[in-house]
Structure formats: structure tokens, C-alpha cells
Structure 1
Amino acid sequence: MKPVTHLDSYRTRVTAGPPPVPELSMPWDARVARSDGYDLHLVHRWNSAPHVAAFRRQAWTLPRWEAELRAQLDGDDVRPLLISWHGRPVIYAEVCRAARHAVGSCYRARPHDLGLNLAVGELAMTDSGLVRSLLPRLTDALFEADPHCTRIVLEPDVRNTRAIRSFEAGGFVAADEIVLPGKVALLMVCRRSSAGARTR
């Protein structure tokens, strides 16, 4: 087996594989979202909720979400996840290879960098501390799942101050304002330390 080296994260000619699916410990659990049935309807409903749609701008029709999830599942760039807390799905997440998305052109992205998008689906749970509790576990699990990954990035809308505060409390640091399709975003970064754990 080829030894793991973090230099691979810096080499521009390296091609990273699909983003990993993190293994979380109780009370958290993460699984890949399906493109039909319960999962499809839940993802569609959550993204249509006003508090989510205001910033994600993905209040799409059910058929469009079905096509989107199917494309993600068939490809190697994005993994759609449903994250549960005590067995109840509470967060829709997308883990992507940042270098292969729009955010990758806004900073010096490395092939193994991971990008995150998170949405708490139920409005009543948005101020319950879920995201700030989840993020340290999630980033540690992603770093463990991909030993070549040295950075995880988020790009919340600059107007979404609630999410930004949660991301900061969860271990991410603001790096720069960037312009992405449809929004001005705040690039936020969580780095792997030399010891292997996440670091600010």
C-alpha cells in the first residue's frame, strides 16, 4: 500500500477520489441520502423551507431534486448526507471535493480539500446548538476518513450570521469574502493539525 503523505494534498496533478462518508459516533449518525422515497421528500421539504431557501436558494421542484440527488450519487464530486441526532434526521449535508466546485476557484484549493454545506431542516431546531455540537465530530471524522485531506471549507452567505456564529463555535475560522454564483459568501476554514486533529 502506498504510504499516506499530506504532500498529496498540495500536488496540483493529484486526482482525489470521491468525498468520504464520515462515520459518526452516538448520538450522531450520517448516511448517504437516497434519491427516492422518504429521503427525497425530506430533502425537498427542507430545502423549500423559508429559513433554508433564503440562503441556499435551492427551493426546487421534487423532480429537480430527484435528478440532483441521482446525479450526485452517480458522480464522484458530491456526497449528499442525512445526519441524524438520537436517530432523528435533523441536518441535510453535502460533502464535496472543493477543488472541483466554484469555491475552488476562489482560493488556492488543493485536490483533497473537502467542502461542506449544511442545513438544519426544521426551523424549531435552528437555535438548539446542533451545528456547533456536530461540527467538531464531523470534521474529525472527515479528516480520519481521508488521511490526505488537510483542510475543510465552508462558504455560508455573508448575511447568514446565525450560521456563521455556529460555524465559528464549531471550529471554523473566517478567511475571506468571496463571490460565488448567486451570493457573496464568507470562506471559512478548518485545518488539520500536524498531530492529525483539527485546528483553528
Structure 2
Amino acid sequence: MSAPGAAARALAVTLEPLDVDVHAARMHAWLTHPRSAAWEMTHLDLAGVRAYLDGVDADPHQQAWLGRVDGEPTFLVETYDPAHVLLPGVHDALPGDVGMHLLVAPPAGPPVHGLTSAVMREVVRFVLDDLGATRVVVEPDVTNARIAAMNAAAGFRVLREVDLPGKRALLSVCTRADLAASPLGRTLR
């Protein structure tokens, strides 16, 4: 995890709908990498990752996005409607809630200072502005201190701990005002 800084502001971050046919092999490499263990897919073969992504693509309540930094594929984002996916019965979703999962690819070379911060900031902004969310909802594992710190830097507020399949999670939300007041959001100005 990198702190926000001047290098982070200089990175061009874009998102586009994930094309499973084009990017399945890349997603397999990212999702099965040991650094992606929190996604619980390290055991899947290419067909298994493709089946997972095809399932997301076929579900009207979810979407996968490919993120690029300076034109290079660098991260995966999943957005979902928490009233229908993962959180029914656990979270009383409000109109405008959009759930989000983010995976920054394992670095192919030396880490880029500010990369994770820039990606996180732009993904939260994308969900709020481009997708029209009122609140971004996340549910990281309570034991994932790195993600908890990054979420806090982006303005996420923990609502409570919840039990989800395979984990105890920190149900958290972020509004436009939360992002704007956060350390990552202040770098947008």
C-alpha cells in the first residue's frame, strides 16, 4: 500500500467493462497469484476463473471492470448491487448503494509509488460519479489490516462486523462527502 502523493496524481487511471474472452488468461494469472489469496481463487484453473467471470457477466446485478493505469491493464473491479448479491439479509441496502471489490494486479516489476492509492481513489470516484452510487459498500475480511487502512484513507466508515461465507467482514460505506474529506479524496482537488 502506498501513501497518497505527487506520483499518484500523475497516473492516468481508466476503467472499461471487462471482456472475458480477451482478458480471461490475464484474470486467471491475477486471481490465482498468492497475493490474491483474499479472493479465494488461487486453486482455480483457467476454466474455473472463466466460469466465475462468465457468471459475473451473466448476472444483471454485477459487473466486472478492467482498470488500466497509463494504458496498461493493472486492476480488476467488480461492482454489485448489495440488495441482490452477497449482502442480502446482512445489509439493509439503501437506494444508491453499490458494492465494490478491487484487485490490484501483482506488480510485474518494481512497485510504483502511489499506484494503489491512485487506483483506490479513482475506483471509488468512478463508482460514485460514473455509476451514480450514493454510497460505495465494501466488506473486507476483518483480518486484512492493509485493506482496512486503504479503505480508511479513502473515507470508508465501518458500520459493523458481519458474517459472510468464508469470513468475518467489516461492512463499510463511503459517500462523496466521505471521499472528499479523506486523505485520498483531498488529493483530487
With the shorter chain as reference, the TM-score category is 0.7 to 0.9
Q: Displacement of 1:199 after TM fit?
A: 5.8
Distance 1:189 1:68, change over 3 A: same
Q: Residues 131-160 of structure 1, C-alpha deviation per residue, up to 9 Å, x if partnerless?
A: 32233332233222344x311111111111
Equivalent in 148, 154, 159 of residue 143 of structure 2: 159
Map of 1:73-84 to 2, 5 A cutoff? 73-84=57-68
What CA distance in whole angstroms lies between the structure 1 residues aligned with 2:90 and 2:110? Answer: 32
TM-score after normalising by structure 2: 0.79
Tell me, what secondary structure is at the counterpart of 1:100?
A: coil
Paired residue for 2:20, among 21, 26, 35? 35
In 1: Cα distance, 2:110 partner to 2:31 partner: 15
1:29-178 pair list within 5 angstroms:
29-37=14-22, 39-53=23-37, 55-59=38-42, 60-123=44-107, 128-147=113-132, 149-178=133-162
8 Å CA contact 1:136–1:170 kept in 2: the answer is yes
Which letter maps to 2:73? P
State how many pairs are aligned: 171
CA contact (8 A) 1:190 1:199 kept: no
Alignment partners' CA distance in 2, 1:186 and 1:87: 33
Compared CA separation, residues 71 and 133, structure 1 to 2 (3 A): same
Check if 1:186 corresponds to 2:170: yes
Deviations 1:39-68 (A, max 9, x none): 101111111011112x11122221122122
Query: Is the contact made by 2:120 and 2:154 (CA closer than 8 Å) also made in structure 1?
Result: yes
SS in 2 for 1:110: coil
Answer whether contact 1:139 1:198 (CA < 8 A) is retained: no
The Cα of 1:198 is off from its aligned counterpart by 5.4
Root-mean-square deviation (CA), in Å? 2.5
